[in-house]
């Protein structure tokens, strides 16, 4: 995990990852090096059908979801990169719809983004239009699952 990230508590009492220094767009925040599992866990991210990289307690355990996230997974490495410049003190977030076909634990989102999806359940549950908008950020195996509905 980048030394520009610290685990801290959000106003709602949940833990999150926060930048403790300015982060440049495309900077690497977390490198995923965990073992590959055949099933999802609360901390894993999905890289293929039946392939999930296990996360670690000190990094993505506290990486929260936002429907307008400021970080994204670069599937080539894989690693988490800044999607835009991030100011010191901002919470680091990732869009879980871009990392899992079906989430291990579903939840209601209160990220406050103008286009918040609400129920966060996984890429599988998005409309065809919503999936298309996320296509640049998702791994190859999710691109193969795009719904081919006309809208």
Q: Give the binding site for Zn ion (CB under 5 A).
A: 67, 109, 111, 116
Sheet holding 51-53: strands in order across? 36-37, 51-53, 45-48
CA-based R_g, the chain, Å: 15
Judged by CB, which is closer to Zn ion: 84, or 110?
Answer: 110
Judged by CB, which is closer to Zn ion: 16, or 34?
Answer: 16
Q: Find all residues with CB under 8 Å of 33, minimum gap 6, and list them.
A: none
Tokens 């509905």: give the residue: 149
Judged by CB, which is closer to Zn ion: 62, or 96?
Answer: 96
Q: Report the nearest approach of Zn ion to the CB of residue 72 (Å).
A: 15
DSSP-derived 3-state class of residue 82:
strand
Q: Report the nearest approach of Zn ion to the CB of residue 96 (Å).
A: 10
C-alpha distance across the termini of the chain, in Å: 40
Facing residues of 64 across strands? 93
Q: Report the nearest approach of Zn ion to the CB of residue 104 (Å).
A: 18
Task: Indicate the helix (H) or strand (E) that contains 45.
Answer: strand 45-48
Q: Report the nearest approach of Zn ion to the CB of residue 114 (Å).
A: 10
Judged by CB, which is closer to Zn ion: 76, or 112?
Answer: 112
Q: Report the nearest approach of Zn ion to the CB of residue 119 (Å).
A: 10
Contact at 8 Å (CB) between 18 and 8? Answer: yes
């Amino acid at each position: 995990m980048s030394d520009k990230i610290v685990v801290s508590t959000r106003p709602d009492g949940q833990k999150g990852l926060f930048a403790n220094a300015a982060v440049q767009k495309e900077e690497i925040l977390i490198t995923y090096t965990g073992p590959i599992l055949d099933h999802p866990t609360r901390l894993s991210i999905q890289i293929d059908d039946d392939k999930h990289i296990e996360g670690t307690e000190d990094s993505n355990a506290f990486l929260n979801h936002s429907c307008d996230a400021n970080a994204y997974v670069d599937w080539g490495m894989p690693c988490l990169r800044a999607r835009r410049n991030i100011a010191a003190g901002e919470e680091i977030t990732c869009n879980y719809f871009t990392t899992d076909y079906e989430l291990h634990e579903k939840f209601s989102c209160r990220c406050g983004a103008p286009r918040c999806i609400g129920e966060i359940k996984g890429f599988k549950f998005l409309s065809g239009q919503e999936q298309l908008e996320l296509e640049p950020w998702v791994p190859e195996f999710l691109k193969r699952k795009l719904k081919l509905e006309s809208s």
